[in-house]
């Protein structure tokens, strides 16, 4: 399931990497929503251009984008194949029973354009911000403590549990699971029972591990009254080069987001 | 059964985030009413990770296989922790495998999480609604209902969102036919999910009953 490839952060020297995580999260999030409002095909090249510009500024390698696009690309492939052939009245071309329709083609262009642009922004955010930093930024923006704790703990044990499942599945295969003949389009009750027990065992092992984890956390003071972390001794002045670059980038992205929404309203 | 970025208009994505906000607030309020909510965080977190990992298990149905959603089971086992767990799981899926999306995170969480909360209430009502039934039939039946309805309702929300939002040029008759066909197509999947949930819950009832205390 690709759990091993969770480390999405790629270290580079770039303005996007240096961008304050909180401002980056808010700005790119708003730009993603601005992209989602686009309904006019004429705005798609602008949207793709903006995403490409930000990706270029992030200095992330193209292989990162290609690799990450491979899974969701399958869904888009289905849209690209189905919509132009099934939706609309204006026929652009016909080959036997295959009919290419203009409305379907336009809808495909719009969906694929929005999809690629939003996904690229998501990958810029994840590729230029370490996961824990991102979580910290969400916390400072009001993410409830319980949700932040749960996210951190789940992330911490995700890979161990994935490895546990892989070991259990290998043990099942070594004992002959999956080698029996199964009839087409039939659910084998025995197979399903074995898989239910596998999942149940995974839950029980995780539950038992959680009890040990909780005891260790209690010993380290978890659940006691929280202490407020002391404020950093020095804060960067508003007009330092770093702060200036942060605000310029944030301003530029927000202007682009508002501009897109405004253009969409005018064109609509 | 995740809606990717770019499919839904911004208004629907924003509405999804609004419903997710309310459902998360409600779930956290219920959790914080418990005597020691902090004690349950590690259990809910590790089970969230386990559910995320377990969603990669497929049931073979030659020549293909059925992918389990497990949102009903999440509701049955985690109770009010199910909604935050689903939200976190979907966030990881968007992050790790690009499954779903960041703008559609709210919509996807609503689609999976609200039926999970419903599944929890269905399972909890077994002692009232199913008091005439003997054990373990009662537990198995209500687990089946929780699992099947969890997937069934999520599938209906998914289909309604997809068909109503893309594409505008599709005529009403075609929309209705597509909704009907896809809804009927999901009935066998809901039965498989319900049966799997019932089998798993009965296994947990025998081996680790405290996991079903919700």
> Closest-CA residue in chain B for A86?
B170
Supply the pLDDT for residue A72: 63
Pairing of strands B64-67, B58-61: antiparallel
Please, which residues 76-95 of chain B have a Cβ atom closer than 8 Å to chain A? 77, 81, 84-85, 87-89, 91-92, 94-95
Supply the pLDDT for residue A50: 96
CA distance B112 to chain A (A): 17
Average pLDDT over residues A177-197: 81
> pLDDT tens, A207-233?
999 989 988 988 888 877 655 555 555
Average pLDDT over residues A199-206: 94
DSSP state letter for A182 = -
SS3 for B50-93 is HHHHHCCCEEEECCEEEECCCHHHHHHHHHHHHHHHHHHHHHHH
Supply the pLDDT for residue A177: 84
Average pLDDT over residues A66-90: 74
Please tell me the number of Cα atoms within 13 Å of A233 on its side-chain side.
Answer: 0
Q: Which residue from B10, B192, B204 is facing A187, i.e. has the nearest CB?
A: B192
The residue with greater pLDDT, A247 or A78, is: A247
Supply the pLDDT for residue B107: 95
Please, which residues 10-29 of chain A have a Cβ atom closer than 8 Å to chain B? 29
Q: Is the pLDDT of residue A68 over 90?
A: no
The residue with greater pLDDT, A188 or B190, is: B190
> pLDDT tens, A151-163?
999 988 998 999 9
Top mean-pLDDT range of A101-110, B37-46, B102-111: B102-111
Please, which residues 105-144 of chain A have a Cβ atom closer than 8 Å to chain B? 107, 111-119, 122, 125-126, 131, 144
- Is B54 within 8 Å of A199 when comparing Cβ atoms? yes
- ω into B63 cis (within 30 of 0): yes
Q: Cα B108–A60–A67 angle (5° rounding)?
A: 55
Confidence of residue B122 (pLDDT cuts 50, 70, 90): very high
Beta strands in chain A (DSSP E): 91-95, 98-101
Supply the pLDDT for residue B171: 60
- Is A71 within 8 Å of B99 when comparing Cβ atoms? yes
Supply the pLDDT for residue A69: 76
Please, which residues 129-148 of chain B have a Cβ atom closer than 8 Å to chain A? none
Contact A158, B49 (CB under 8 A): yes
Q: Which residue from A114, A115, A199 is facing B57, i.e. has the nearest CB?
A: A199
> pLDDT tens, A3-59?
445 557 788 888 899 999 999 999 999 999 999 999 899 999 999 999 999 999 999
> Closest-CA residue in chain B for A184?
B62
Supply the pLDDT for residue A2: 44
Average pLDDT over residues B50-62: 85
- Tell me the Ramachandran region of residue B53: left when phi exceeds 0, alpha when psi lies from -120 to 50, beta otherwise: alpha
Q: Percentage of chain B surpassing pLDDT 70?
A: 94
- Is B43 within 8 Å of A188 when comparing Cβ atoms? no
CA distance B134 to chain A (A): 22
Chain B positions touching A183 (Cβ under 8 A) are: 62
Chain A positions touching B95 (Cβ under 8 A) are: 6, 8, 126, 131
Average pLDDT over residues A136-143: 90
Sign of CA dihedral A237, A238, A240, A242: positive
Average pLDDT over residues A99-109: 83
Supply the pLDDT for residue A3: 47
């Amino acid at each position: 399931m690709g759990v091993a490839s969770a480390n999405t952060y790629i270290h580079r020297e770039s303005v996007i990497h240096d961008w304050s995580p909180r401002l980056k999260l808010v700005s790119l999030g708003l730009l993603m929503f601005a992209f989602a409002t686009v309904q006019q095909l004429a705005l798609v090249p602008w949207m793709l251009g903006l995403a490409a510009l930000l990706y270029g500024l992030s200095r992330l390698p193209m292989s990162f984008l290609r690799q990450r696009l491979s899974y969701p690309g399958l869904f888009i492939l289905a849209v690209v194949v189905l919509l132009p052939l099934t939706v609309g009245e204006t026929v652009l071309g016909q080959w036997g029973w295959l009919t290419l329709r203009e409305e379907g083609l336009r809808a495909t262009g719009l969906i694929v354009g929005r999809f690629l642009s939003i996904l690229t922004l998501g990958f810029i955010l994840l590729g230029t911000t370490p996961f824990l930093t991102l979580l910290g930024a969400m916390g400072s923006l009001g993410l409830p403590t319980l949700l932040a704790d749960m996210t951190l703990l789940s992330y911490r044990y995700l890979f161990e549990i994935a490895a546990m499942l892989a070991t259990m599945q290998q043990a099942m295969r070594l004992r002959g699971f999956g080698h029996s003949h199964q009839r087409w389009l039939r659910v084998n009750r025995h197979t399903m029972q074995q898989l239910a027990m596998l999942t149940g065992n995974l839950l029980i092992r995780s539950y038992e591990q959680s009890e040990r984890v909780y005891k260790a956390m209690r010993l380290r003071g978890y659940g006691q009254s929280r202490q407020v972390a002391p404020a950093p001794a020095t804060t960067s002045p508003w007009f330092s080069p770093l702060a200036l670059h942060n605000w310029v980038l944030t301003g530029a992205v927000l202007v682009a987001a508002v501009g897109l929404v405004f253009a969409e309203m005018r064109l609509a | 059964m995740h809606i990717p970025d770019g499919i839904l208009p911004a208004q629907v994505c924003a509405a999804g985030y609004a419903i997710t906000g309310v459902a998360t607030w409600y779930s956290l309020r219920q959790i914080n009413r418990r005597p020691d909510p902090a004690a349950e965080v590690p259990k809910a977190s590790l089970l969230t990770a386990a559910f995320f990992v377990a969603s990669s298990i497929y049931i073979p149905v030659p020549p293909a296989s059925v992918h389990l959603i497990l949102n009903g089971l999440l509701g049955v086992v985690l109770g009010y922790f199910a909604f935050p767990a689903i939200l976190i799981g979907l966030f990881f899926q968007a992050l790790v495998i690009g499954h779903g999306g960041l703008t559609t995170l709210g919509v996807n969480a609503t689609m999976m999480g609200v039926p999970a909360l419903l599944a929890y209430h269905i399972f909890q009502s077994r002692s009232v609604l199913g008091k005439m039934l003997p054990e373990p039939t009662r537990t198995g039946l209500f687990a089946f209902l929780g699992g099947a309805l969890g997937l069934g309702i999520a599938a209906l929300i998914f289909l309604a969102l997809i068909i109503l939002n893309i594409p505008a040029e599709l005529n009403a008759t075609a929309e209705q036919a597509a909704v009907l066909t896809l809804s009927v197509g999901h009935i066998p999947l809901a039965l498989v999910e319900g049966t799997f949930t019932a089998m798993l819950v009965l296994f947990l009832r025998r081996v680790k009953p405290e996991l079903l205390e919700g």
